[in-house]
Structures are given as C-alpha cells and as structure tokens.
Amino acid sequence: MITVRVDLGERSYDVIVGAGAREQLPDVLPRDVRRVAVVTQENVEVDVDPGVPFDTFVIEDGERAKTLATVEQLCRDWARAGLSRSDAVVALGGGVVSDVTGFAAAVFHRGIAYVNVATTLLAQVDAAIGGKTGVNLAEGKNLVGAFWQPTAVLCDTQALGSLPAREWSSGRGEMAKYAFLGDGLLDQGRPGAAILGLPLDQQVATCASIKAAVVAEDEKDSGRRMVLNYGHTLAHALEASTFGPEAKWDLRHGEAVAIGLVFAAMLARRMQRIDDDRVALHRRVVGGFDLYSDIPVGASARELVEFMARDKKAVHDLTFVLDGPDGVEPVHQVDETVVLATLADMGCAP
C-alpha cells in the first residue's frame, strides 16, 4: 500500500492507495462510531464492510444525482435510520458519490465524519481528495457545496478492473491535467509517459500527492488551489450545457477536462502567455492519454461564456487557469472577446 498524507493540522488524513485498500475501512473510521451509512450507486460493483452495523443508501447514477433534492433525501433517510453526529458516512463510488455524500455529511447534524472509498480512476486521482463537496444547479456545475474534509480516502485499485473504457478516459483527463502541475511529468518525447509508464498504484499516488500538496497549501481555494481547476472552466461549461431534459452531447467529466486543457492553451497563446510549441505540447499530452480535444458539434460560444461567467473561480469577471511563463496560474479579468475568438478557433458556433 502507498500512503499519501493530506496535511491540514487537526483535519489531516491519509489517502491509502493499493489493491484491497477498501478492506482498511474499519481501521480508518473514527473510534466511537457505532453505526455507518454507506452511500453508493447501482453501477458500483464492489462492496465494503465497515465492521459495525450499517445501512446502504443508493442514489441515482450520473450527474443527475448531484442535486439538492438528493442531499435532502439522504439527510432524511439518515435521520430515520437513527444516525447520530458521532456516527459516520461512507461514500462508495466515483466522483458523483463523493461530491454528494460529502456535502450531505457536511450539513447533517452540522457535520458528520465521512470516508471516501473511491472506486473510479477519476475519484482516486482527484475527486475523492481535498474536501470539496457539492451539487449542481441548472445555472451551473458545483455552485452549491461546502469544504468538508474526509476522515480518510481509500483508493482500492483492484476496484478499477471492472471500469468501462469511458470511465478510464474520464480519469485520464484529470491525469493529463496533473502532467502539467507536477514536476518532471512532461516527457517531451512521449508526453504523459512519466505518469503512464508507472504501475497503476503509483499513477494514482502521484496524482494524489500533487493534489494533497496543493490542498495543504490552500485548503479553501482562495489562491494556489485554483490551479487544480486547470482545464475545468470550459469543462464545467460543457457539462452545464447538458443539464436539463435534453442533453446536447454525452461527455464524461475527464473527457470535458481534456477539451478544456487544449482550449486553455489556445486562450493562453492568444493572450501571448505561451507559444505555438506549448499549445502543440498540450495537444500531444491529451493525445498521449488517448483523449480528444474537439468541441462538441452544436456547442454555442455565447452559451458557454455565460456558464463560464458563473464559474466559482470568477469574481464578477471571466477567470481562467492558464499556462504562462511562470507556469499554470489563475488569470482574472480575461476579455470576453478573446474567449469568444478562441472558441471560434476551435470550431465553436457563435
């Protein structure tokens, strides 16, 4: 097993990575827990044994579960089950499960302990770590939530064996992001190979270590932590465009991040922060992870910009995380016309 420490003083915890990591659940629960609520989804093919009596609560699959209605239902179910503030919750699944369960845990009894048992690559390398929890609104992605750190994160790489191909792609979108955030991870000959050439446990632990270091420096996302949203401003806008009864396209989160990484590079070039070679490097990295960077057919640049303006990084402006001479960093007050022109460069309709 590989252990990565998220150093947050009294709120510090371990991310445990390896085959069979979920078997350590009884050891990482708070000492006085007498009952556990396990939250999962129908498509999760693994189970857990917390070592104490527990009830299982199943939420809907996919992003449609990330609603305030789901959080309310979970809290009501937990109350009826007699869950006390000294008990705990276990999020068993991917990023949607950890986001929703963590938020419900943050507000139930004004805060109850929870453990993330991450079963997807996306959750293991990113979503389950760092204490960002939340749900979507029709107006945008992750607009309601809380910072609520887990007691521990268990990344059981054995659970990844049954993942569908597109779930692997989703996780690799986040891994491609980390290639630009970690030291020495950009192999110029075969970008991404510095991560992909590692055993799976080490791939996960490498990404977890980068995130843990950034979170320890800026837990509440007021500065440095914004770099973890590299590629996410467009990604979240693309995802938000699918909310509602008629989805315009089908994108997993990491697939949207891959598109967002190339968009961010093209935007940075248009702003003269980087050159053509650096944009080409972004394309090679995304391709190295077997991901695509094309804007979905039918996307509206104007609609995407409207969603970007509601992004949680923005403060009454358009804010992006962009590459530049000093590396990846937040850039505020980006001119809307430059954003629209960059989307047009990617073939996006007005």
Terminus-to-terminus CA distance in the chain, angstroms?
A: 50
The two three-digit tokens of residue 223, written as one number: 């500065």
Q: Where are the beta strands (DSSP E) in the chain?
A: 2-6, 13-18, 36-41, 54-59, 88-93, 113-118, 132-137, 140-147, 152-156, 320-322, 329-331
* Residue 171: strand, helix, or coil: helix
Give one word for 137, left, alpha or beta, with left for phi > 0 and alpha for psi -120 to 50.
beta
Q: Are strands 113-118 and 36-41 parallel, antiparallel or unpaired?
A: unpaired
**pLDDT tens per residue across span 159-185:** 999 899 999 999 999 999 999 999 888
d(CA 291, CA 172): 8
- Residue 345 above 80 pLDDT? yes
Q: Residues 102-129: what's their mean pLDDT? A: 98
**pLDDT tens per residue across span 53-95:** 999 999 999 889 999 999 999 999 999 999 999 999 999 999 9
Q: Which domains does the chain have, with CATH numbers?
A: 2-162 (3.40.50.1970), 219-345 (1.20.1090.10)
Give the pLDDT confidence score for residue 313 in this predicted structure. 72
**pLDDT tens per residue across span 216-268:** 999 998 889 999 999 999 999 999 988 877 777 889 999 999 999 999 999 99
Beta bridge partners, 3, equal 16
Q: Residues 293-315: what's their mean pLDDT? A: 88
**Of 6, 22, 185, residue with least CA distance to 115:** 22
**pLDDT tens per residue across span 313-334:** 767 789 999 999 999 999 999 9
